[in-house]
A = this chain, B = another copy of it.
Amino acid sequence: MTSTPHGARARARIEITAAIKEEARRRLAEEGAAELSLRAVARTLGMASSAIYRYFPSRDDLLTALIIDAYDSLGETAEAALQGSAGAAPGERWAAVCEAIRGWALAQPHEYALIYGSPVPGYAAPASTVPAAARVAFALIDVVRDAHRAGELDVPALPGDLESEAARMAADFVPDLPPAVAPACVAVWAQLLGLIGFEVFGQFTRVVEERDAFFRHTVAGLARTVGLRPADAAS
């Protein structure tokens, strides 16, 4: 039933699907996920509201598609920063990837909110989002891995009650690194995105003014937490 399901109709289908997503993303950029209305999308696309349901069985399915796209877009940005900094010192690469993630988040706050905002509890992220979501994390991990290969990673300490958990984590997604760095990576990943979230969601209003410098400094601290030696020696 696959293998280029024959001709014009199929092409039209993927084109229209793309057009719906595109228009939805456009509205998302300026309104936020809560205000995204299927009917409005259909209207500006010149189709009946009921027609959209041929392409996305429900509003949530559209949102899920947008979530995956957002994860991928962010992951791509992070990977680009990773490659753009190839050869640089681990501390600098770390900063570059973090800045790229932050830049993406600030440029598309609503999409950031979509993926790192509040998925209501009870809502289990569809398994289809997992690989896309992992890309950012793996970009960060790649920096750590490179530092490790170059012998420039200070493996952090690990308390006894986390040993088995660390072993499991490491086996799951960093089998080539010392187990102790796995929890540190996860912690730093969460803290970084949390930090960015605070800025994007306006929690820094009237608290942090010079956000670029503040972010640079904080991210250097995070680097130290995973065992990297930050580029900015002064911080």
Residues of A within 8 A of B (CB): 31-35, 109-110, 113-114, 116-125, 130, 157-162, 164-165, 168-169, 183-184, 186-187, 190-195, 197-210, 213-214, 217-218, 221-222, 225, 232, 234-235
Chain B residues near A33 (CB, 8 Å)?
118
Contact B200 A121 (CB under 8 A): yes
- Tell me, rounded to whole Å, the shortest Cβ–Cβ distance linking A70 to chain B: 13
| Contact status of A165 and B213, CB under 8 A, knowing A113-B118, A120-B113, A232-B159 | yes
| Contact status of A197 and B197, CB under 8 A, knowing A32-B120, A117-B118, A165-B214 | yes
Ranked nearest first, the 8 interchain pairs of A and B with the lowest CB-CB distance are: A194-B194, A117-B118, A113-B118, A32-B120, A191-B191, A190-B198, A159-B234, A187-B218
- Tell me, rounded to whole Å, the shortest Cβ–Cβ distance linking A204 to chain B: 8
- Other than the known A121-B200, A169-B207, what 8 A-B pairs have Cβ atoms closer than 8 Å? A32-B120, A32-B122, A34-B120, A161-B213, A169-B208, A186-B207, A191-B191, A221-B225
| Contact status of A191 and B195, CB under 8 A, knowing A202-B124, A209-B165 | yes
Chain B residues near A191 (CB, 8 Å)?
191, 194-195, 218, 222
